[in-house]
Amino acid sequence: MIRKQIEKLLNGAAKIEDMPEKFSVSFSAMPGLCDFQSNSAFALAKELKSNPFDLANKIVSDLQGNDMFEFSVARPAFINVKLTDKGISHLAKEIANGKLPQPGEGKSLYIDYGGPNIGKAMHIGHMRSFNIGEAFKRLYKKLGYNVISDIFLGDWGMPMGLIMAELEFEGTLDEYISGERELSLAVMNEAYPKGSKRKAEDETFKARAEELTLSFQKKKEPYYGFWKRLRDVSVSEIKRVCTLINVDFDLWNGESSATDYVETVLDIFKFKNLATLSDGALIVEVAEEGEQIPIPKKSPDEVQRYENPMPPLILQKSNGGDMYATADIATIYMRNLNYKPDIIHYFTDVRQKQRFVQIFRACKKAGISFEGQELWHTGFGTINGKDGKALKTRDGGNMQLLDLLNMLYEKAEERLISNGTNFDSDLKRKIGNAALKFADLSNSVEKDYSFDIDRMLSFEGKTGPYIQYTACRIKSILAKAGRFKDNFNFLQEHRAVVLELNKLWSSYMTSFTEKSLNSLCAALFNTASAFSSFYNSCHILSEEDEKKKSAHLTLLKLVLSSLEEGCEILGIEVPEKM
Contact 468, 575 (CB under 8 A): yes
For residue 539, the one-letter residue type is: H
- The Cβ-side half-sphere exposure at 535, using a 13 Å CA radius, reads 16
If the CB atoms of residues 216 and 525 are measured against ligand ARG, the closer one turns out to be 216
Taking the complex as a whole, how short is the minimal distance between the CB of residue 522 and ligand ARG, in angstroms?
A: 28
If the CB atoms of residues 154 and 465 are measured against ligand ARG, the closer one turns out to be 154
Taking the complex as a whole, how short is the minimal distance between the CB of residue 455 and ligand ARG, in angstroms?
A: 28
Residues that bind ligand ARG (CB under 6 A): 112, 115, 117, 152, 154, 328, 346, 348
If the CB atoms of residues 348 and 358 are measured against ligand ARG, the closer one turns out to be 348
If the CB atoms of residues 125 and 575 are measured against ligand ARG, the closer one turns out to be 125
| DSSP string for residues in 467-498 | HHHHHHHHHHHHHHH----------GGGHHHH
The sign of the CA dihedral 264, 267, 271, 272 is: positive
Question: What is the three-class DSSP state of 123?
Answer: strand
Taking the complex as a whole, how short is the minimal distance between the CB of residue 328 and ligand ARG, in angstroms?
A: 5
Taking the complex as a whole, how short is the minimal distance between the CB of residue 407 and ligand ARG, in angstroms?
A: 22
Taking the complex as a whole, how short is the minimal distance between the CB of residue 514 and ligand ARG, in angstroms?
A: 21
If the CB atoms of residues 9 and 323 are measured against ligand ARG, the closer one turns out to be 323
If the CB atoms of residues 398 and 533 are measured against ligand ARG, the closer one turns out to be 398
Contact 540, 556 (CB under 8 A): yes
- The Cβ-side half-sphere exposure at 373, using a 13 Å CA radius, reads 24
3-class DSSP string for 126-175 = HHHHHHHHHHHHHHHHHCCCEEEEECCEECCCHHHHHHHHHHHHCCCHHH
Taking the complex as a whole, how short is the minimal distance between the CB of residue 142 and ligand ARG, in angstroms?
A: 24
Closest CA to 487 of 98, 99, 96: 96
If the CB atoms of residues 86 and 515 are measured against ligand ARG, the closer one turns out to be 515
The sign of the CA dihedral 195, 197, 201, 206 is: positive
Residue nearest to ligand ARG (CB): 115
The sign of the CA dihedral 413, 416, 422, 423 is: negative
Taking the complex as a whole, how short is the minimal distance between the CB of residue 133 and ligand ARG, in angstroms?
A: 10
Contact 160, 120 (CB under 8 A): no
* Burial (0-12, 13-18, 19+ Cβ within 10 Å), 86: middle
Taking the complex as a whole, how short is the minimal distance between the CB of residue 112 and ligand ARG, in angstroms?
A: 5
If the CB atoms of residues 335 and 549 are measured against ligand ARG, the closer one turns out to be 335
